[in-house]
Structure 1
Amino acid sequence: LFYSISVENKMKSLWCFMLLNVVFSSALPVEPIPSTEGENRQLAQEYLAKYYEPQGTSKHFKMSNDIPIADKIRQMQGFFGLQVTGKLDSKTLEMMKKARCGVPDVAFYSTFPGDLKWKKNDLTYRIVNYTPDMSPSEVDSAIQKALKVWSDVSPLVFTKVDSDDADIQISFGVREHGDSYPFDGPDGQLAHAFPPSPGIGGDTHFDDDETFTAGTVGYNLFLVAAHEFGHALGLSHSSDPGALMNPVYSNIDPRNFHLPQDDINGIQSLYGAPIGPVKPTGPTTPEPCDPNFFLDAVTTFRGEMMFFKSRFFWRKHPQMQETELHLISSFWADLPTKIDAAYESYEKDMVFLFRGKNYWALNGYTLVQGYPKSIYEMGLPKTVEKIDAAVYNKDTRKTLFFVGSKYWSYDEAQKTMDQGYPRKINLDFPGISITPDAVVEYNGNFYFPQVARMVARIYRETDREMHTLISL
């Protein structure tokens, strides 16, 4: 079930090993796109032409032409951390359909003449017109907050003016709006901005066919604007899925937004740090090969593995070498940004995700209506405030919930807790002396990775004994 570990890998964390190397004996093929789906192929061609081989000779978005389409697909797959095949598979198409920024993903800024930054720190901006989706005061507030994201971590200062010679001209338009880079209607491309330069440089345009809001319904103007202003200041796209400058829109709660460290590093490489004794820092994207890394939850998912950490999750397909990293909010805007525990129910074809006293259900990638529900509806006592780990046994159709030093057994068919629980974990699972971070079941075996001791153990239901799988 697992690859052997070479000597040079033994210093890596156990989770790094699991994330990058675990494979199951039964594997599902990567789903290709049927050849009859001409509409999808047309979408892919337009996407690649727009973001990986832009047309035209503008100095802003110029790139060499005549790149084979398979090479462009590989480039796109590599940028987003997908399996690099050069083929239009379902996951590649899925990524192409996500709402995103209209600026290309390749390193276009290397083609711009001169420095890719403003030669001054005091910049002016003008809001040329307003979207009817929001009140002018809401738009003003969203724009001001979006600029403040960057001024808080750099020496930049932004001043609103009502002048044609403002450094950054901000406007809303639809389709062809005067810059030779037309918008595409609802969804798809949300906005675009031009890098620092005379004339159109710094100008930021929003597609008014979108529904912009101050909340989480529609597209949050603050989040879209903060990203676009990164371009207006000289930043290109980041392949870090947690970065603000990642091209794909992520519907996070703007009230909890903190500029990620990747973006802070980028803007400070251009303009330096702000004046003051305290240097701002931001959240980072987790690195599974960090020896101190541990996961929040892990579960199977229709033949794949899903690993959760903070606001991120990894997808590992058994036939893919790469492990995909995504923001939870990029798939499920209504889920919490951190998951405590997760398990898959094969009979129900659902994945259940737990956070605090509540849990949610997924059917495929769709949130099931009627959730979240309380964990107490399952029969857990009110003394339980969160579930540390969960695992479903498809042979017994029972789900085990691990909480502290104890665990409960839940009968999925009867929807009740079994009698005689909770029981001590260390009595029934010898060798597991600490609260599990996560547990996953496969072929009747329970996998208990323990980062603190750098071991992974299997509990085999057939002989009810614990076996050491890996010891690093």
Structure 2
Amino acid sequence: MTRPARAVLAVLPAVLAVLPAAGLPSPARLEQLQQQPQERLVQGQAYLAKFGWVSTTESRFGSLQSLSSKLAEFQQFAGLPVTGVMDDATVAKMQQPRCGVPDKAAPLKRQRRRKRYALQGSRWRNKALTYKIVNWPKNRDRELTRKAISDAFQAWADVSALTFMEIAASTNSKANIDVRFEYGDHGDGDAFDGPGGTLAHAFFPIYGGDAHFDKSESFIVTPGGRDGVDLFTVAAHEFGHSLGLAHSEVNDALMAPFYRPPGVNRDVIKQDDIKGIQSMYGPPEEQPAPAPDTGGPPDTDSGGGGDGGGGDETDGDGDEGEVDARESENAALCEDSSVDAIITVSVKPGRETYVFKGGDYWRLTDIAVAEGYPQRIADRWGGLPDDLDDAMVYTPRRNSKELVFFFKGDKVWRMTNLPTVDEGYPKLISEEFQGIPNDIDAAFTWKRNKKIYFFKGDQYWRFDYEAAKSGGQGVSDKYPQNIRVWRGLPGNLDTVNTWKNGRTYFFKGGSYYKIRDRPLRLTGGYPRNTGEWWFGCPDNQGSIHQQQPAASQQRGDISADETYRDTVIGYGEGDTQPRYGGSAGLTRPSELLTSLLLPLLAALAARQL
């Protein structure tokens, strides 16, 4: 055997090992594909042809090798396990409602490298675009439909230099983008397929930019609605195509081809989408400062550099507009800091805190109220009533799906996927939580034992949700018990919240309390003023401190004036033990004893409650 032949044989096993990774199907994969039902293979070929993965010729005459390779490409794009066969996960993904624009849209010019987002290659020359709603979906309120479409355009305007303006359909003026709702074959060569499947499609700028929506779909035009497809989300995706974006391979991007219901914040445009749109049209242009309001306070020198600590209006720090905006966003919370409910829930990419009061809700940052609030509960939370009694988040096990419960009177609503109410709800409290009274004051899940605690007046109940769902007893016969067990906690609570730091806070009126569970008792330095520490209310609203809380003293942090004794009991924040006399090595004898007894006391307290 010649030396070149021996060299080829030496590397042959390595070459065969990388064939599947290189997109070339292995013999085992081809055999598995050949054994699959013919109907499933035809379904896969048709899907891949429809959405640009194979040409018409390939779909008619392609070999199993070609089909397997294209399936592997699609699976990688869709975030599926790359098997190269029509497995169950691939079939399910192909049946998922989606956009009708091909995934493999041919770019107008070859790009040097594949980006996470994808540009089709054409764009609008001007950045002030117009649109016209030519016709309407069936059985949907036109003004709500108009708002959903306007909001979808605005979502792109918020992250780019683009602006959008609607032109009335009754005028003869031509718009840049026509928005239409059509049935089946509607004259553009890409017929709709009825409910499900293809929801909509749009044309890139070079082809006119128009967006068409399948009129047979049950579009939801009110945020949080059920039994349909959210028009705002679908429209925002399609308008991305109208602006020049192709489908993205990032699964959580808006420009990924598959439909996903929006979250409660409706922040459907993700970082990948922002990078794509700004690469074509640039970031939002800075807005000029508004002219002074001559009917308000005298104009002040804005050249001084304020310290951001919330000084008075005439100190020349230039923050008047910021303070005014903050006051307008949280005015109702600062005038009366009592609330109906506070929950902290998982919202990608992290956790968010929401406050409910009357018919409004707010989203909180780490130190204040987020911009753009309040908003109406009815506009975002899937049919929840106003004036809730309370809400709580229940997570039975680590990494399990959160269940969010909302209470009012004798009814309870449950959400598994925010902000949509689960099917079959609302239910009676007596049905979902047998043994718990109606008109509760507050409820929360205690992290130490994963049990739910309900409060009403000066009594409380412990509920085992997992046991109740398994047919067991949710409430022990020894309940209700007196709230005095929670040492220092008042009766008639408003709400309870377990915040991002894992600590639990109890709210009543304009104050809030923190309870240590090692041992069970009120934390020193509480109650605190809810308006200042949670809602960012300014000093003139009656807050405890003289300025906005520092970053090191946000909400649940131990204040500087707490005593040594209060800090030792329960180990303080972060379960760290303070040292005696500032020494890094010495501890008090009593502290050593405490460190040995506290775990036992905590376990006894959990069992007692």
Deviation at 1:145, TM superposition (A): 2.1
C-alpha deviation, 1:213, in angstroms: 3.3
Matches within 5 A, 1:314-329: none
Secondary structure of 1:123's aligned partner: strand
Q: Is the CA contact 2:99–2:257 (under 8 Å) kept in the aligned structure 1?
A: yes
Q: Secondary structure at the match of 1:130?
A: coil
Which structure has more helix as a fraction of its residues? Answer: 2
1:212 alignment partner in structure 2 = 219
Give the whole-Å Cα distance in 1 for the aligned partners of 2:97 and 2:176: 27
Cα distance in 2 for residues equivalent to 1:101 and 1:46 = 16
> Per-residue deviation at 1:102?
0.8
Give 1:401's match in structure 2, choosing from 451, 457, 475.
451
Going from structure 1 to structure 2, the CA distance change for 1:418 and 1:108 (only over 3 Å counts) comes to farther
1:101 and 2:99 aligned: yes
Alignment of 1:247-258 (within 5 A): 247-252=257-262, 256-257=266-267
- Asked which structure has the greater RCO (Cα within 8 Å, sep 6+), the reply is 1
CA distance in 1 between partners of 2:130 and 2:428 (Å): 49
Superposition TM-score, scaled by structure 2 size = 0.44
Are the aligned partners of 2:443 and 2:452 in contact in 1 as well (CA < 8 Å)?
Answer: no
Instruction: Tell me by how many angstroms 1:45 deviates.
Output: 2.9
1:204–1:229 CA contact under 8 A, matched in 2: yes
Q: Which amino acid aligns with 2:152?
A: A
Secondary structure of residue in 2 paired with 1:75 = helix
Distance 1:379 1:270, change over 3 A: farther
Residue 204 of structure 1 and its aligned partner are, at CA, apart by: 1.1
For 2:446 and 2:574, locate their aligned partners in 1 and report how far apart those are by CA, in whole Å.
7
Give the C-alpha shift of residue 99 in structure 1.
0.9
Q: Percent of counterpart pairs with the same letter?
A: 31
After TM superposition, the structure 1 = structure 2 runs for residues 151-230 of structure 1, keeping only pairs within 5 Å, are 151-161=157-167, 162-163=171-172, 165-197=174-206, 200-215=207-222, 216-217=225-226, 218-230=228-240
Q: Does structure 1 residue 128 correspond to structure 2 residue 100?
A: no
Name the residue aligned to 1:274: 284
Q: 2-side partners of 1:103 and 1:435: how far apart?
A: 51
The answer to whether 1:240 aligns with 2:290 is no
- 1:310 pairs, out of 342, 347, 350, with 347
In the TM superposition, residue 136 of structure 1 has moved relative to its aligned partner by 3.9
Match of 2:404 in 1: 355
In 2, Cα distance between equivalents of 1:386 and 1:50: 50
Instruction: Using the TM superposition, give the Cα deviation of residue 56 of structure 1 relative to its aligned residue in structure 2, in angstroms.
Output: 6.3
**Contact between 2:393 and 2:402, CA under 8 Å: does it hold in 1?**
yes
Change (3 A) 1:91 1:426: farther
- Of 220-229 and 236-245, deviating more is 236-245
Cα shift at 1:231 = 0.6
The residue identity in structure 2 corresponding to 1:49 is A
Q: Is the 8 A contact 1:222 1:254 kept in 2?
A: no
Task: Summarize the alignment of residues 382-401 of structure 1 with structure 2, pairs less than 5 Å apart.
Answer: 385-387=443-445, 389=447, 400-401=450-451
Residue aligned with 2:201, SS: strand
1:174-204 superposed Cα distances (whole Å, 9 cap, x missing partner): 222222222222110011111111xx33111
Matched, 1:377 2:433: yes
Correspondence for 1:396? none
What is residue 75 of structure 1 aligned with on the other side?
Answer: 73
Partner Cα distance (2:46, 2:382) in 1:
30
User: Which of the pair is proportionally richer in strand?
Assistant: 1
1:6-25 maps to which residues of 2 (within 5 A)? none
Which of these residues, 136, 139, 145, is aligned with residue 139 of structure 1? 145
Give the drift of 1:100.
0.9
SS at match of 2:433: helix
State the number of aligned residues.
331
The residue that corresponds to 1:461 in the other structure is: none
Q: Over the residues paired in the alignment, what is the CA RMSD in angstroms?
A: 5.0
Match of 2:87 in 1: 89
Alpha-carbon distance between aligned partners in 2 of 1:87 and 1:237, rounded to the nearest angstrom: 23
Shift of 1:101: 0.7
Code of the aligned partner of 1:342: T
Give the residue type in structure 2 aligned to 1:142.
A
Task: Decide whether the 8 Å contact of 1:101 with 1:191 is kept in 2.
Answer: yes
Q: Does 1:414 align with 2:468?
A: no
Going from structure 1 to structure 2, the CA distance change for 1:373 and 1:175 (only over 3 Å counts) comes to same
1:174 touches 1:183 (CA, 8 Å); kept in 2? yes
Q: Secondary structure at the match of 1:70?
A: helix
Q: Secondary structure at the match of 1:206?
A: strand
Question: Match of 1:154, as an amino acid?
Answer: S
The one-letter code matched in structure 2 to 1:168 is I
2:258 partner amino acid: V
Q: Distance between the aligned counterparts of 1:35 and 1:132, measured in 2?
A: 44
Amino acid at match of 1:173: E
Distance 1:426 1:93 in 2: 52
Residue by residue, what CA displacement relative to the aligned partner does 1:97-148 show, whole Å, maximum 9, x if unpaired? 1111111223633558994211111222233333333244443333222212
The equivalent of 1:47 in structure 2 is 47
Unaligned runs of 5+ in 1: 1-31, 58-62, 279-295, 298-307, 314-332, 345-350, 391-398, 437-463, 465-472
Using the TM superposition, give the Cα deviation of residue 72 of structure 1 relative to its aligned residue in structure 2, in angstroms.
2.2
Per-residue deviation, 1:237: 1.9
Task: Give the secondary-structure state (helix, strand or coil) at the position aligned to 2:165.
Answer: strand
Whether the 8 Å contact between 2:201 and 2:212 is mirrored in structure 1 is yes
CA distance in 2, matches of 1:383, 1:100: 43
CA contact (8 A) 1:52 1:72 kept: no
Q: Which moved more, 1:375-384 or 1:179-188?
A: 375-384
